[in-house]
Amino acid sequence: MSINQFGAWCFGAVIGWFLYFTMRHKATHAITDLAAVVGAIGGVAVLDLFPIQGLFSWYAIGLFCGFFAYFIIGLIIAWRMGQVRAFLVGAGAKKGERAVESFTIK
């Protein structure tokens, strides 16, 4: 697997995870849910301004590492606070807004 293929895979993993999480954990959806995706794709568009090959791959790998590092650190902090369920499901939602009523963590 080349660095370009790996970078594309990382980019797809981050975008896929974000879209899955947004669609799974929100009862209502709006165009604003996709703002982060548009921002990430906009970052790729800026890379076209530079003549160096392989920048997309490094951008995507950095995006992947930052995204999942944030998730893992957040999960560790939530575990230490005993709030893993709230972290995974979303404690900030208003009552009745969650679409994940059958989701349970034991």
Whole-model pTM over 0.75: no
Two tokens, residue 102 = 């059958």
Helix axes 55-81, 3-25, angle to 10 degrees: 40
Q: Is 8 helix (H, G, I), strand (E, B) or coil?
A: helix
pLDDT score of 30: 72
Q: Is there a contact between 21 and 71 (Cβ–Cβ < 8 Å)?
A: no
User: Tell me, what amino acid is at 79?
Assistant: W
| CA-wise closest residue to 41 among 31, 56, 29, 51 | 56
Q: How many Å apart are CA 39 and CA 16, to the nearest integer?
A: 15
pLDDT score of 7: 82
Each residue's pLDDT, cut to its tens digit, for the chain (106 residues) gives 788 788 888 888 888 777 777 766 666 767 777 777 787 778 777 777 777 777 788 888 888 888 888 888 888 998 999 888 887 776 555 555 544 444 445 4
pLDDT score of 100: 43
Taking residue 11's Cβ as centre, other Cβ atoms within 10 Å add up to 21
pLDDT score of 99: 41
